[in-house]
Amino acid sequence: MASRRTIVFENKPVITGSYSIVGPKEGKGNFASYFDYIMNDDSFGEKTYEKAEKKMLEHAINGAVADAKIQPEEVSLLLSGDLLNQIISSSYAARNFDVGFLGLFGACSTMAEGLAIGSAMVDSGYFDHVVCATGSHFSTAERQFRFPLELGNQRPPTSQWTVTGAGACVLSKQGSGPRVAMATFGKVIDYAVVDVNDMGAAMAPAAMDTMLTHFRETNSSPDDYDLIVTGDLGKLGSEILIDLMEMSGIKLGLNYNDCGQMYFTRNQNTLSGGSGCGCSATVLNSYIISKLRKGELQRVLFMPTGALMSTTASQQGETIPGVCHAIVLESDVKPKGGGVQSQDIKKTTSASKGGSKIQKRKGG
């Protein structure tokens, strides 16, 4: 029997600020009305997509700090990572902030890794405010992990679309906003998937392991959550997770969904759905936090998933392991006439399809 991997935060750090920025395609997806900023152009005025990715991250960090209504000098730490080699978006963005920098690499699970470590730093009383951030860019990810876009490769049905976007939030010791109640650190799990165009299948076993561990260690079940949301398993991966969980004796119901699956509309041609660090990060820092702030979601199990793939490892015949960390988020606002099911997102936002920033998400 392995040791516990769950932290129960006694002081429940508060998410006092959050911000999301996305590319134009993402801005036409299902969460369009929730994002803080939709770029007109995915180069964001920069000469390279890598520089654009870094700029998005800086923008999101500044946005979250402003949303928290604190001064940048009040922040002690920035916890950030991304998909690029040597997490350059994060480390280069960090140059512009006068804070301690904790570089993370958890692939697309980074938002949760940052939230877990950041919450620990705040919960234990070490720091008053920390910022957690991550992002990704379709064009930087494609050229680093797969093929140059110029090749015009066909995409198989299992492939996912790396979200161009960045999300950031401020975790504070005090204040009002959703609370981080628990975190379960995930193990690295490898089911020997080798296809770089089938990330959902590579990550689903890690999601299952973390979910089972979380339920066991916290003596909870799916019924304890309004929304259980994985990061970017996509359509295929989330079906695999549902099957794996059922084989383990736990039936995931209508309160389960996946950010990658929900992200784009059917006609956006993203095949199995969204992916990338920016996928779960922008959903968290727009839709999920907005719903928690309004009390429309009371208790969320947020589970970003990461495929620890690398071209070097793949070229040496290695398989693709996955990792998934789980974060329990609680609303600080009482529910207004019952909870909301995650499936509502499809109805809620389809009307705003194609609109850009048509609805300010911030509550009072």
**Residue 359 contacts residue 34 (beta carbons within 8 Å):** yes
- Kindly tell me which of 212 and 271 has the beta carbon lying closer to a copy of itself: 212
State how far the Cα of 304 lies from the Cα of 278, in Å rounded to an integer. Answer: 10
- Which of these segments, 123-131, 155-163, 241-249, 274-282, binds a copy of itself (CB under 8 A)? 123-131
C-beta atoms surrounding 125 within 10 Å = 9
Residues 132-151 binding a copy of itself (CB under 8 A) are: 144
Amino acid at 288: I
Site string for a copy of itself, 65-104 (x = CB under 8 A): --------xxxxx---x--xxxxx--xx-xx-xxxxxxxx
- How many Cα atoms occupy the beta-carbon half-sphere of 233 within 13 Å? 27
- Residue type (1 letter), 65: V
Residue from the set 40, 153, 174, 311 that interacts with a copy of itself by CB under 8 A: 311
Q: Can you tell me which of 4, 69, 216, 346 binds a copy of itself, judged by CB under 8 A? A: 4
Place of tokens 């109640």: 181
Shortest CA distance to 199 belongs to which of 148, 155, 243? 155
Parallel, antiparallel or unpaired: strands 77-82 and 37-38? unpaired
| Site membership for a copy of itself, residue 107 (CB under 8 A) | yes
Count CB atoms within 10 A of the CB of residue 314: 15
Member of 66, 120, 212, 271 binding a copy of itself (CB under 8 A): 120
Distances (CA, A) of 106 to 79, 111, 309, 316: 12, 8, 10, 21
Considering only 105-113, 173-181, 226-234, 327-335, which stretch makes contact with a copy of itself by CB under 8 A? 105-113
Pick from 187, 294, 353, 357 the residue near a copy of itself by CB under 8 A. Answer: 187
**With binding defined as CB under 8 A, does residue 113 bind a copy of itself?**
yes
The DSSP code for 135 is: E
Give yes or no for residue 288 binding a copy of itself (CB under 8 A): no
Strands 14-22 and 37-38: parallel
51 touching a copy of itself, by CB under 8 A? yes
Which residues would be at the binding site for a copy of itself (CB under 8 A)? Answer: 1-5, 7, 47-48, 50-51, 73-77, 81, 84-88, 91-92, 94-95, 97-107, 113, 117, 120-121, 123-124, 126-129, 144, 184-190, 308-313, 316, 318, 321, 323, 325
